[in-house]
Amino acid sequence: MELLNASLIDWSRAQFAMTAMYHWLFVPLTLGLGIIMAIMETMYVRTGDEQWKKTAKFWMNIFGINFAIGIATGLIMEFQFGTNWSNYSWFVGDIFGAPLAIEATVAFFLEATFISIMFFGWKRVGKKMHLASTWLTIAGATLSALWILVANAWMQYPVGMEFNPDTTRNEMMDFWAVALSPVAINKFFHTVLSGWVLGALFVVGIAAWYMIKKRNAQFAQQSMKVAVAFGLISSLLILWTGHGSAQQVAEKQPMKLAVMEGLYEGGEGVGLIAFAIPNPSKESYKDNTDPYLLNISIPKGLSWLSFGDMEAYVPGIKDIIDGGYREPDGSTALSFTEKQSRGKAAIQALADYKKAKKDGNETAATEYKEKIKANYAYFGYGYLDTPEQLIPNIPMVYWSFHIMVYLGGYFIALFLLLGFLVYRKKDLENMKWLLWVCVWTIPLAYIAGQAGWVLAEVGRQPWAIQDLLPLQAAISSLSTQSVIITFCLFLALFTALLIAEIRIMLNQIKKGPEESH
């Protein structure tokens, strides 16, 4: 695999990041709003109250606008695996492609089948059939998320495969190990729950706007009640999945955890940062500069969060590079130099294997194949030159993690306050300050979601596939100029789509539930 210049890598990363971040503006609202509108339609079928039907149909319109544009951005993102990351697609396509194929053939067709009934079947099918179509539509959207997240989780924790030196490809050996890996399951629930929280905050914010304008009072009250209850439950559940995510990261991606906390040197009983200001003068893991200007920590919190043991050892950035500490499985951690040496040994053994096969020397080929297998867990380290390449962008990962956590805590507090007021039947219309807080919380929900993905993906760097394939070995042989041109074209296209969606949504919201049908 030819190593290409950093400029091409940077632009290819930027293009994929831009596409993914635009796509994630639409997906979480689809996941969250879909459940909320299905709950509202369920209330209509149970009570026969036409107001519930009107409320459900309004949110269904908003769902439809968002759903259509989300599909467009998602398709372009998948194409980039073949265009910009062809070495990646060749190396792991047999595994990575399987969940994406299932997503396209099962989940997408489930959505496509029932979404037409959901939108156009109000007068053509019975109430229960229509309700079933609504739930099946959102089930299809959630299944789409499942298979995409299975693929992403495999990039974080590659399992269920075996490397074939004859084809230089990884081949799936255990589908269920890939689909049911602990990282995949936890990532699915955490990501979907984050979409539910965003959907709830979106509905709360729009309902609050109607209350401020003193319009559609019953619609606003119904929407607020459902969204607050749904959002509070989702926010509390996400605490559980967040804890699970931290444990998975601690076990399988210790460098990501260390960077999340700005932890340069680890130890036993490590504290969890409640609030800190990283020191911009800290330039290297090697210098003795204090990493924080201010640090308020929860004693032994990181050890407990990571391993469920307040005295557990948590390695820092320097420890991971130097090695020598005890791993959770009882083994001794290898240093970067040792991993690099084993990675280079695997790469050289692969070249020697191919030559031996070409020469017809089966005995030598068998020996080299065993050498590849013995060192393959560190294959990707053979492409790295310095230990600094193992360290992701510390400020970006650190602040992404803490912004996500701080906003998550704020969302729980807001849902608790609104729940108390709504279900105690307090008059929210006279609390305009709180209603405006709800409106302006909508963009904060999007920021939290984006921060989560920045943490997940930037925190994995420099790996396209954890420990096996760094970015410089995953890239396509393209000209930098062509990637820059397509970056600009996609940026213009996605920005136009986003502006169009916002304008259409705002028009629907201004019309209100009565005039929009």
234 with 295, same domain: the answer is no
pLDDT tens for 352-405 read: 999 999 999 999 999 999 999 999 999 999 999 999 999 999 999 999 999 999
195 with 315, same domain: the answer is no
- Residue 202 in any domain: the answer is yes
405 with 283, same domain: the answer is no
Whether this prediction's pTM lies above 0.85 is answered by yes
How far is Cα 45 from Cα 48, in angstroms, rounded to an integer?
5
The pLDDT score that the predictor gives to residue 329 is 81
The pLDDT score that the predictor gives to residue 516 is 44
- Residue 226 in any domain: the answer is yes
Q: Which one-letter amino acid corresponds to residue 148?
A: I
* pLDDT grade for 5, boundaries at 50, 70 and 90: very low
The pLDDT score that the predictor gives to residue 221 is 92
How far is Cα 80 from Cα 100, in angstroms, rounded to an integer?
13
How many other β-carbons are positioned within 10 Å of the β-carbon of residue 6? Answer: 11
pLDDT over 90, % of the chain: 67
**Parent domain of 221:** 6-253+393-458+460-503
Q: Find all residues with CB under 8 Å of 442, minimum gap 6, and list them.
A: 201, 202, 205, 206
438 with 306, same domain: the answer is no
Which SS3 state, helix, strand or coil, does residue 297 take? strand
- Residue 511 in any domain: the answer is no
Phi and psi at 495, nearest 5°, equal: -65, -40
Query: Closest Cα to residue 211, out of 443, 445, 402, 428?
Result: 428
pLDDT tens for 254-305 read: 999 999 999 999 999 999 999 888 888 887 888 888 888 888 999 999 999 9
Q: Is pLDDT above 70 for 517?
A: no
The pLDDT score that the predictor gives to residue 6 is 52
Return the half-sphere exposure (C-beta side, CA atoms, 13 A cut-off) of residue 122.
11
229 with 283, same domain: the answer is no
- Residue 508 in any domain: the answer is no
The pLDDT score that the predictor gives to residue 283 is 77
- Residue 191 in any domain: the answer is yes
Lowest mean pLDDT of 5-14, 148-157, 289-298, name the range. Answer: 5-14
The pLDDT score that the predictor gives to residue 2 is 42
Phi and psi at 111, nearest 5°, equal: -60, -50
Lowest mean pLDDT of 191-200, 416-425, 455-464, name the range. Answer: 416-425
How far is Cα 257 from Cα 247, in angstroms, rounded to an integer?
9
Residue pair 496/199 in contact by the 8 Å Cβ criterion: no
88 with 184, same domain: the answer is yes
- Residue 1 in any domain: the answer is no
Mean pLDDT of 25-45: 94
pLDDT over 70, % of the chain: 98
- Residue 170 in any domain: the answer is yes
Which SS3 state, helix, strand or coil, does residue 364 take? helix
How many other β-carbons are positioned within 10 Å of the β-carbon of residue 47? Answer: 11
Domain count, the chain: 3
Give the max Cα distance, the chain.
Answer: 85
| Token pair belonging to 89 | 């697609």
The pLDDT score that the predictor gives to residue 76 is 77
- Residue 193 in any domain: the answer is yes
Element (H, E) at 276: strand 272-278
249 with 267, same domain: the answer is no
* pLDDT grade for 121, boundaries at 50, 70 and 90: confident
How far is Cα 409 from Cα 299, in angstroms, rounded to an integer?
19
148 with 13, same domain: the answer is yes
pLDDT tens for 75-115 read: 777 778 878 888 898 998 889 888 888 887 777 777 778 88
Mean pLDDT of 417-422: 92
344 with 246, same domain: the answer is no
85 with 200, same domain: the answer is yes
145 with 215, same domain: the answer is yes
Last residue within a domain, chosen from 322, 348, 365 = 322
Please state, rounded to an integer, the average pLDDT across all residues of the chain: 90
The pLDDT score that the predictor gives to residue 212 is 94
Report CA-CA distances (Å) from 18 to 13, 148, 280, 453: 8, 18, 27, 12
246 with 266, same domain: the answer is no
Residue pair 339/346 in contact by the 8 Å Cβ criterion: no
Number of H helices and E strands in the chain, helices first, is 16, 8
The pLDDT score that the predictor gives to residue 311 is 93
